[in-house]
Amino acid sequence: MATKKTTNNNLPIAIVIAAVLIAGGLIFNGMKKPAPKTDVDLDAKIEAGIENYIKKQQEEARKAQEEANKPKKVEGIEEGGNAVLGDPNAPVTIVEFSDYECPFCKRSFNQVLPQIKEKYIDTGKVKYVFRDFPLGFHEPKATEEAVAAECAGELGGDEKYYEYHDLLYKNTGSNGKGIGDKTYASLAEEIGLDSAKFEECLKDPAIKEEIKKDMEDGAKYGVSGTPGFFVNGWFIKGAYPFSEFEKFIEQELAEKE
């Protein structure tokens, strides 16, 4: 009986002690430091760091490209004996290195050259010179067309050269597609040239040598793609809008006054 009584008396005490231990455990767990971040959190931080690095690199590359593309003055730009459009004594000369199969060149021909011609070439303020720079990935059509235009100039002078130059751009599909179902001789006939003599000219190796010289000069002046323009030596890389040419033309005209 004595043993039973002791057990009964100690039972409430045991319950109290257990409750205290449980409560203490809960308080202890509540005071513990937060669990370490999971692998998912770490991966997200790494991914964000990589993304920021890429953005920084892209921005630096963009700025470097902008700086590289800023017009710079290049001395000693030559016409290379190529056909001239406009007054040969005009105070401003635009030399274009171009490719008849280049779509950006065609866009410049369609959108920019007409404005330059109307405002500056036809008024005797600017002369324009086209020099060949056929790109490898537009071959063989790019060089074929350059040869054909040179032959038009050989047979008909500067005026016929630019008439043929215009027909090439109007008929080509660009990007190496060529002039479709027309032939170089048929285009020559459209501007009044003798097709038989024209066909003979197309075989003349001296024409390709002239085109090679244009390309060598272009590379020497810093041309690596088309179109590339020099406005009294100011190098404009690419198919810029008329306003960009107008700025440099007006600047050069003001200096000549």
Rounded average pLDDT over 220-237:
97
CA-nearest of 74, 171, 70, 87 to 127 is 87
d(CA 227, CA 148): 19
DSSP 91: S
CA-nearest of 189, 208, 195 to 150 is 208
pLDDT band at 71 (very low <50, low <70, confident <90, very high): confident
Structural tokens at position 118 = 């109307």
Do 194 and 208 contact (CB within 8 A), yes or no?
A: no
State the pTM of this model.
Answer: 0.74
Cα-based angle 89, 122, 146 (whole degrees, multiple of 5): 80
Whole-angstrom Cα Rg for the chain: 38
Domain assignments of the chain as residue spans, ordered by start: 1-32, 38-70, 73-256
Q: Using one digit for the tens of pLDDT, what is the confidence trace for 83-135?
A: 999 999 999 999 999 999 999 999 999 999 999 999 999 999 999 999 999 99
Domain topology for 73-256:
Glutaredoxin (3.40.30)
Q: Is the pLDDT of residue 26 over 50?
A: no
Count Cα neighbours of 237 within 13 Å in the Cβ-side half-sphere: 17
